[in-house]
Structure 1
Amino acid sequence: MRFRASIQNIHTFTKFTASLATLGHIAWVRLDEKDVRFTVIPEQGTQVWSVLSIDTIFETYTIQSAAPDNTINLEVPLAPLQRALKSAQNAVAANIRLTKKDNIPLLSVTITTQTMSSSAPPGTNGHASSDEPNSTGFGTGEEFREESVDFFGARQDRETLVTQDVPVRVLAPASVEGLHEPRCREPDVHIVLPNLMQLKGISDRFTKLAMTTKGASKSGFGSAVSGPKLELSGNMHGCLRLVLNTDAMRINSLWTGLENPELDPSQVVDGEEGLANHPSTRMKAVGDSSGQSEEGWATVRVEGRDWGRVLSVGRLGGRVIACFCHEHALILYVFLNGDEPGGGDSVLTYYISSYAT
């Protein structure tokens, strides 16, 4: 069993692992010849199923195992991996490989850094002098002593290697074959979300406000166990609404003019006929683009702090499509920026269950 790769997009890889680490401590990582998959399944909260094309984060990539497609399954602690990658932010090169020390499997991250050093003979401080110095630092005669260039403190580049080891578990194929993405019905609404960092800022303010009001603690929206709930709604006319509703207050933020992507009939069961009967088609027939009509909205209720952690993926950029299954679940598809090598082939999928009222 072998795995070794050079990391070409260290910033993307670091921000990606940081966004996952906010949602869970452990990731199931599947490596094979086709792609790289990171899956986080916490006991409570949002699940993440991500598929990254190899060249999204790696340059050279070597993998070998006895499993089909040379698959290797690992259980990886996210916080140590994030720390190892964060230390490589200013590296000139970074590599990752699967190895073993004292019979413990490890992901070893090797970082190459470059430092500058200078040297000068003792007592000179890098300044030229003559046999008969005066106040200008030069002798009064016309002849000057010649010195080597090292005398002036030649700069030298030096490379330093640093290796950080992340303990992992190698999983047998049989132990992960039963894992699969949650199954959801066809969405009622699909809409492109606004800038996630803007949405996160507003969501976090709503959550903090709910936690500081007495009314929130008396309602189901602010229990100490799960925290304040936020109500998120969308329609098929480009509208998104975020609501905080407690015994003490009701406040909301509304976005209009967002995009509702067209569905591809070839990707819908029964093609054109299936598209005509799709839930989102029926939702589009009601409501309007002003956001004032109460018809045609699909709504889910999310735990505020968990939702804020989900939105941290906004640091990666990219296009995000939210699919609403009314009163059931919210599914986010995060497509990484196309300007990253291979980014168009990489998608992170977030499954968020809706809380009951």
Structure 2
Amino acid sequence: MRFKSQIRNVNLLAKFCASLASLGQIAWCRLNDEDVQFTIIPDKGSQVWSVLRPEMIFDTYILQSASPQNTINLEVPIQALSRALKSALGSTSTQIRLTKKNNVPMLSLTIVTNTFSSGNNVVAAANTARERAGAGAFDFDDNDLSFNETQGEAARERETVITQDIPVKVLAMEVVERLHQPRTPEPDVNICLPPLTQVKTISERFTRLALATTKTSSSVSPRLELSANMYGSLKISVKTDALNISSRWTGLAHPELDPAFFPDMANHPTTRMKELGGPNGENEAGWSKVRIDAKDWSRVLSVGRVCTKVIACFINEGALVLYVYLPADEHGDEGDPCLTYYISSFDA
């Protein structure tokens, strides 16, 4: 079993993992020849299933396993991985590999940074430090030194190598075979969300107002109501004994469904919902609604730091499914959605 790669886009991967880390502590990571998958299934709250093409984040991708497609399944402490990647921001190069130390599997990040300084030293040894993620202790390796020559006051380059070790578990195929994405009905409304920074600002403002005007414990998260129609409108509302407010966006786009995959569009739920909305979409029957946990919703919206487009699929009174797209590659290819969030709706 072998995994080794040079990370080409540390910034993207760091933001990606930070978004996942807001939802849970443990992620299931599946590596194979075709893609890199991260999944978080918390005890409660939203699930996220994500798929990345290796070329989006890796320059080299060496993968060997006895399983089909060289598949390797890992249980990864995603918050530790997120912290390690943050420490690699601005590095000259970052390598990640699967290794074993004291019989414990590790994801090992080797981070190289170069800095320039002036000085009178004739010979300078580059710092090589090894840090275990979260431990805060360094283990200096005297056998791993490089030297740079300088003359007088001339600027010299100093190379620093830091290795972050993240303990992981290797999962057998039979352990993960029973894990599948949730099955949901066809949505009643598909709509492109406004910038998530706007949505997050409004949602958190409503949450604070709800907490300030409710008599229940502040540890109990308020419920936000999200609703949308097939006429480009989205509403976020919150209601308590002393408060009833909402915010509305209009003019939002709806994704076009491919007739090759949806041949019977005349009977599709989105078509029926548009008809129920009436001539201007204001009929109550034309709105699809979900009620979600405000704090969980805020954590989901942290993906706004990395995404360019989000399509929300409303299953009336049932669930909200978000399809999140990452920035297009160098060829302008947006590709398929990289993250899928499943958010259950609460009863009224």
Could you tell me the TM-score, scaled by structure 2's length? 0.88
Aligned partner letter, 2:301: L
Report which stretch shifted further, 329-338 or 342-351.
342-351
Aligned with 2:311 (options 321, 342, 349): 321
The answer to whether the 8 Å contact 2:194/2:252 transfers is yes
Unpaired segments ≥5 residues, structure 2: 123-149
Distance change >3 Å, CA 257–CA 184, structure 1 → 2: same
Distance change >3 Å, CA 346–CA 157, structure 1 → 2: farther
**Equivalences for 1:56-95 in 2 at 5 Å?**
56-95=56-95
In structure 1, what is the equivalent of residue 291 of structure 2?
301
Q: Deviations over 1:285-310 (max 9, x none)?
A: 13268664423000000100100110
Q: Deviations over 1:97-140 (max 9, x none)?
A: 00000000000011000021222389xxxxxxxxxxxxxxxxxx
Q: CA RMSD in A?
A: 1.9
Report which stretch shifted further, 274-283 or 162-171.
274-283
In structure 1, what is the equivalent of residue 165 of structure 2?
165
Aligned with 2:239 (options 235, 245, 264): 245
Aligned-partner SS, 1:352: strand
Distance change >3 Å, CA 204–CA 290, structure 1 → 2: farther
How far the C-alpha of 1:213 sits from its partner, in A, is 1.2
Q: Which runs of 4+ in 1 moved over 3 A?
A: 223-226, 288-293, 339-343
In structure 1, what is the equivalent of residue 230 of structure 2?
236
Aligned partner letter, 2:339: L
The answer to whether the 8 Å contact 1:191/1:323 transfers is yes
In structure 2, what is the equivalent of residue 352 of structure 1?
343
Distance 1:252 1:290 in 2: 20
Aligned with 2:322 (options 312, 316, 332): 332
Aligned with 1:267 (options 261, 265, 278): 261
In structure 2, what is the equivalent of residue 255 of structure 1?
249
Aligned-partner SS, 1:214: coil
How far the C-alpha of 1:58 sits from its partner, in A, is 1.0
How far the C-alpha of 1:89 sits from its partner, in A, is 0.4
Unpaired segments ≥5 residues, structure 1: 123-148, 218-222
How far the C-alpha of 1:225 sits from its partner, in A, is 6.1
The answer to whether the 8 Å contact 1:114/1:158 transfers is yes
Distance 1:262 1:120 in 2: 66
**Equivalences for 1:101-116 in 2 at 5 Å?**
101-116=101-116
Aligned-partner SS, 2:277: coil
Distance 1:297 1:243 in 2: 13
Aligned partner letter, 1:4: K
How far the C-alpha of 1:31 sits from its partner, in A, is 0.1
In structure 2, what is the equivalent of residue 3 of structure 1?
3
Distance 1:289 1:109 in 2: 57
The answer to whether the 8 Å contact 1:237/1:288 transfers is no
How far the C-alpha of 1:88 sits from its partner, in A, is 0.3
Distance change >3 Å, CA 343–CA 113, structure 1 → 2: farther
Aligned partner letter, 1:66: A
How far the C-alpha of 1:312 sits from its partner, in A, is 0.6
Distance 2:109 2:173 in 1: 25
The answer to whether the 8 Å contact 2:230/2:281 transfers is no
**Equivalences for 1:64-213 in 2 at 5 Å?**
64-120=64-120, 150-151=151-152, 153-213=153-213
Distance change >3 Å, CA 150–CA 241, structure 1 → 2: same
Distance 1:267 1:275 in 2: 10
* Larger-gyration structure (1/2): 1
**Equivalences for 1:282-301 in 2 at 5 Å?**
282-287=272-277, 292-301=282-291
- Among the aligned pairs, what percent are the same residue? 55
Distance 1:314 1:76 in 2: 23
Q: Deviations over 1:40-89 (max 9, x none)?
A: 00000000000111111111100000000000000000111011100000
Distance 1:92 1:208 in 2: 42
How far the C-alpha of 1:344 sits from its partner, in A, is 2.4
In structure 2, what is the equivalent of residue 37 of structure 1?
37
Distance 1:50 1:352 in 2: 15
The answer to whether the 8 Å contact 1:33/1:70 transfers is yes
Distance change >3 Å, CA 251–CA 340, structure 1 → 2: farther
